[in-house]
Amino acid sequence: MNRVDLHGVAGFRFAAGAAGLKKSGRLDLALIVADKPALCAGVFTTNKVVAAPVQICAPRIRQGRCQAILVNSGNANACTGEQGRQDALRCGAIAAAALGIDEELVAVSSTGVIGAPLPMAKFEEAVPKLAAQLREDHADEVAAAIMTTDSFAKRYAVTGEVDGRPYRILGVAKGAGMIHPNMATMLAFILTDAELEGGFVDTALRQSVDGSFNCITVDRDTSTNDMVLLLASGAAGNAPIAAGSKAAGEFQSLLDEVLLELAKMIVRDGEGATKLVRIEVTGAASDAEARQAACSVATSSLVKTAFFGQDANWGRIIAAVGYSGAQVDPEKVDIRFGEVPVVKDGLGTGKELEAKATEVLKTPEFTVFIDLKQGSGRAYYYTSDLTYDYVKINADYRS
Amino acid sequence: MNRVDLHGVAGFRFAAGAAGLKKSGRLDLALIVADKPALCAGVFTTNKVVAAPVQICAPRIRQGRCQAILVNSGNANACTGEQGRQDALRCGAIAAAALGIDEELVAVSSTGVIGAPLPMAKFEEAVPKLAAQLREDHADEVAAAIMTTDSFAKRYAVTGEVDGRPYRILGVAKGAGMIHPNMATMLAFILTDAELEGGFVDTALRQSVDGSFNCITVDRDTSTNDMVLLLASGAAGNAPIAAGSKAAGEFQSLLDEVLLELAKMIVRDGEGATKLVRIEVTGAASDAEARQAACSVATSSLVKTAFFGQDANWGRIIAAVGYSGAQVDPEKVDIRFGEVPVVKDGLGTGKELEAKATEVLKTPEFTVFIDLKQGSGRAYYYTSDLTYDYVKINADYRS
């Protein structure tokens, strides 16, 4: 359960400022700094067009230790070529110098306008100031500083216990669609004071990402700047949690919760979205096929406009399952909106139940259950509706 | 070139009527009848949820001979189970009896509401009347009778010559998006009086479909009822055109033209569309990868909203290429809007050229050229923009 009273994690300090990267003058630059090098893992965009900060950051994270994250909004430093890489390196160097640490321990991350060079003078000026203002319990400022088109800052924190010692997991994230001039969809930084064994950091993060950020869609577009980092400070003082242990299972569920809740916040804040819809597929031939089917339904423009129209349009859903590539016998498919069955063995259940289902669609959050009756594969996806405001935000942003 | 003065093809007769399947009372039922069994080929939906008429029609067409096409709008006869199949069979039987032909020679096709049973009494009454009203030169009525959300009827006709004998190819099509209550995206019926060799009918159709209906997108959704049929009456009296001959090459180009122009009409008439955009990818590692990249760009909601916003947003295009799966070196990509280069070797060409590109985007039809410089693979895709009206049509159709 979200602990809204938690604004920090032992072993980490935070600072954020307005460096003038956003024309609005809002917070646009942030530092997260660990007291000593933290264990770390990262998951990065699969887009082949990779922004400069990701090119610099990914190999550093793979070394397994990270002490600082420097992140800016307002400029993605993407499609900026060799100059972009030099600028990203320089950002890391400025932070390292200001913090007195090795620059290989600095992760750099950017989100915002694509194709424009980073205004380096602003970094030269602002980063040392931030380094001098680090404070505990200021994670909220970081969450605010990484926002682009987000309408609210995204933070989620939980507590656990191991060896009688309490620990925390706190995550901040941004994302609301891959929108120019704010190109980058999604950043998430997850911090814990639990001591973890080295290998577990990476596997734990990958498993949580798979069930959260990899199961959400606003508009199918994958950004050039996506990045999820997990840093573990070990300040809780527990014996290191090893993969496979009971403590690891508990840590994993908590981490899953933090990432899933952050992911759902991103969909809820999806550009123009008025609905958060869970698409749950069961009875597929395999989990992978369940995911294919769920993804196909969750990304269909016709399904998403029907959600906006509060229309229990199961025809669009069954058609999206049909072209998903998953094994399906149309005459076995069951579909429910919430608890209301609208399709039984591929046939509509009638006007009365369709009217009841419409009531479900009028709520802001609901689940569509799709049972394929082919096997035991299951998966879910979270999606938003496709609305006038989505078009407005993405077509008319200059007005 | 389209011969708008051609309203029929030798060896075929047409009739259309209003059977009461559309609430509007407009034309909703049509017959195309060949004087004698015509050679035929068909391409059908790849959706695993296949409407009853497609289930009945496809195996008949595969036998290679067809004498009549009975097509209705207003009801898709999809997701209707065993009853739907019986109804589709009965439709064919009614037509066969009225025409005095074998029912295996009747192709049945439907488009419209999904999940509702066909009102068979209306077919029993209307089909014999249509069979008594067949006339040459009435292809336009058929084009009108198959419309659902289409805003204009789609017909395209050309003439060719073989052995000094003139022949015609005439196509009618419908499609504007896969929209409930008009579920089925796309139907096309292509007629020619040219005599073709049996094997060539099928290969010619498949090649033309591959370069036309398989290269267009309005909203990525594949319908349960899609169908393209080619019927050759042989009434032109030429020696049969055999695959590989010079005459076959000429016929193929003409057929390609008819299908591509019909396909473009469908995109131009895309739900809510204000633009017809050709995405042309060159320099891919293979033709297949070029197609992947073109499809990714053509189906991106962010790219399509940018077209609507008349915004030369190359960042969204390069990102869509990046996640397409095609091999790409971001620092080699060139992008042009019409003749205006906006990206050279992965870098923007500056504000002045971007402003010029915006002028291109203000025109109703333009091409986006993307050169990946990886090889000699090339492909194109036609797409529409994503607009307020797309959302309106698909979310608010009940209002």
* Whole-number Å distance between alpha carbons of A346 and A369: 14
- Residue pair B193/B39 in contact (Cβ under 8 Å)? The answer is no
Please give, rounded to a whole number of angstroms, the shortest distance from the CA of A346 to a CA of chain B.
Answer: 6
- Residue pair A344/A334 in contact (Cβ under 8 Å)? The answer is yes
* Whole-number Å distance between alpha carbons of A359 and A342: 12
E strand or H helix that includes residue A219: none
In this predicted model, what pLDDT tens digit does every residue of A302-329 receive, in sequence order?
899 999 999 998 988 998 999 899 999 9
Q: Do B47 and A319 touch (CB under 8 A)?
A: yes
What average pLDDT score do residues A385-392 get? Answer: 87
**CA A199 to each of CA A62, A69, A167, A205, B99: distance values in angstroms, whole numbers, following the listed order:** 11, 21, 19, 10, 75
Residues on chain A touching B361 (C-beta within 8 angstroms) = none
Annotated binding site of B for substrate: 148, 174, 185, 271, 394, 399
A394 is in an annotated binding site: yes
* Whole-number Å distance between alpha carbons of A396 and B133: 52
Count A/B contacts: CB-CB distance under 8 Å.
Answer: 193
Handedness of CA A243, A244, A249, A250 (dihedral sign): negative
* Whole-number Å distance between alpha carbons of A248 and B200: 64
Of all residues in chain B, the one with the smallest CA distance to A301 is: B219
- Residue pair A44/A103 in contact (Cβ under 8 Å)? The answer is no
**CA A132 to each of CA A33, A298, B309: distance values in angstroms, whole numbers, following the listed order:** 11, 45, 44
Query: What's residue B47's pLDDT?
Result: 85
* Whole-number Å distance between alpha carbons of B312 and B294: 17
E strand or H helix that includes residue A187: strand A187-192
In this predicted model, what pLDDT tens digit does every residue of A227-264 receive, in sequence order?
999 999 999 999 999 999 999 999 999 999 999 999 99
Query: What's residue B7's pLDDT?
Result: 94
E strand or H helix that includes residue B372: none
Query: What's residue A323's pLDDT?
Result: 87
Name the DSSP letter for residue A137. T
Residue from B160, B143, B265, B277 nearest B212 by CA: B265
Please give, rounded to a whole number of angstroms, the shortest distance from the CA of A168 to a CA of chain B.
Answer: 35
Question: Which CATH architecture does the domain made up of A276-395 adopt?
Answer: Roll (3.10)
* Whole-number Å distance between alpha carbons of A308 and A316: 13
| Residue A358 is a catalytic residue | no
* Whole-number Å distance between alpha carbons of A162 and A172: 23
Whether the ω angle into residue B181 lies within 30 degrees of 0, i.e. cis, is yes
Q: Within its chain, how far is the Cα of A190 from the centroid?
A: 10
Active site residues of B: 185
Please give, rounded to a whole number of angstroms, the shortest distance from the CA of A196 to a CA of chain B.
Answer: 33
Query: What's residue A222's pLDDT?
Result: 65
Q: Do B394 and A302 touch (CB under 8 A)?
A: yes
- Residue pair A111/A228 in contact (Cβ under 8 Å)? The answer is no
Exposed/middle/buried for residue A107 (C-beta within 10 Å: 0-12, 13-18, 19+): buried
Q: Which of A79, A178, A183 is the best mutation test for B, with the most CBs of B within 10 A?
A: A79
Residues on chain B touching A388 (C-beta within 8 angstroms) = 388, 391-392
How many other CB atoms are found less than 10 A from the CB of residue B362?
9
- Residue pair B315/A114 in contact (Cβ under 8 Å)? The answer is yes
Q: Is B223 helix (H, G, I), strand (E, B) or coil?
A: coil
What average pLDDT score do residues A3-30 get? Answer: 95
Query: What's residue B217's pLDDT?
Result: 74
Give every CB contact of residue B327 below 8 A, 6+ residues apart in sequence.
A48, B284, B285, B289, B372, B374
E strand or H helix that includes residue A66: strand A65-75
Checking ipTM against 0.85, whether it exceeds it is: no
Does the pLDDT of residue A39 top 90, yes or no?
yes
Question: What integer best gives the mean pLDDT of chain A?
Answer: 92
In this predicted model, what pLDDT tens digit does every residue of A96-139 receive, in sequence order?
999 999 999 999 999 988 889 999 999 999 999 999 999 999 99
- What is the DSSP annotation of A333-348? -EEEETTEEEEETTEE
Q: Do B320 and A79 touch (CB under 8 A)?
A: no
Handedness of CA B308, B263, B29, B229 (dihedral sign): negative
**CA B328 to each of CA A120, A392, B219, B286, B372: distance values in angstroms, whole numbers, following the listed order:** 29, 31, 25, 12, 6
- Residue pair B71/B141 in contact (Cβ under 8 Å)? The answer is no
Radius of gyration, alpha carbons of chain B: 22
Handedness of CA B366, B371, B372, B378 (dihedral sign): positive
For residue B134, which amino acid is it?
L
- Residue pair A119/A21 in contact (Cβ under 8 Å)? The answer is yes
Of all residues in chain A, the one with the smallest CA distance to B395 is: A309
Query: What's residue B218's pLDDT?
Result: 67
Residues on chain B touching A323 (C-beta within 8 angstroms) = 46-48, 221-222
Q: Is A249 helix (H, G, I), strand (E, B) or coil?
A: helix
CATH homologous superfamily for the domain A12-268: L-amino peptidase D-ALA esterase/amidase (3.60.70.12)
What average pLDDT score do residues A169-179 get? Answer: 81
| Residue boundaries of the structural domains of chain B | 12-268, 276-395
Residues on chain B touching A302 (C-beta within 8 angstroms) = 177-180, 219, 221, 394
Long-range contacts of B200-204 (CB under 8 A, 24+ apart): B200/B241, B200/B242, B200/B243, B200/B248, B201/B39, B201/B40, B201/B41, B201/B64, B201/B230, B201/B232, B202/B41, B203/B243, B204/B41, B204/B230, B204/B243, B204/B248, B204/B251, B204/B252, B204/B255
Q: Do A47 and B323 touch (CB under 8 A)?
A: yes
- Residue pair A364/A276 in contact (Cβ under 8 Å)? The answer is yes
Residue B309 has its nearest CB partner, among A49, A345, A395, at: A395
Q: Do B309 and A347 touch (CB under 8 A)?
A: no
Name the DSSP letter for residue B182. B
- Residues A67, A71, A73, CA angle at the centre, nearest 5°? 175
Query: What's residue A272's pLDDT?
Result: 85
Residues on chain A touching B328 (C-beta within 8 angstroms) = 48-49
A47 is in an annotated binding site: no
List chain B pLDDT tens, one digit each, 399 residues: 888 889 999 999 999 999 999 989 999 999 999 999 999 999 998 888 899 999 999 999 999 999 999 999 999 999 999 999 999 999 999 999 999 999 999 999 999 888 899 999 999 999 999 999 999 999 999 999 999 888 899 999 999 999 899 999 999 999 876 544 344 468 999 999 999 998 999 999 999 998 888 888 766 566 788 899 999 999 999 999 999 999 999 999 999 999 999 999 988 888 888 999 999 999 999 999 999 999 999 988 889 999 999 999 898 899 899 989 999 999 999 999 999 999 999 999 999 999 999 999 999 999 999 999 999 999 999 999 988 888 888 786 543
* Whole-number Å distance between alpha carbons of A137 and A160: 18
Q: Do B315 and A391 touch (CB under 8 A)?
A: no
| A45, A149, A185, A387: the active-site residue | A185
Does the pLDDT of residue A79 top 60, yes or no?
yes
Does the pLDDT of residue A151 top 90, yes or no?
no
Does the pLDDT of residue A180 top 50, yes or no?
no
For residue B207, the number of C-alpha atoms closer than 13 Å in the C-beta half-sphere is 16
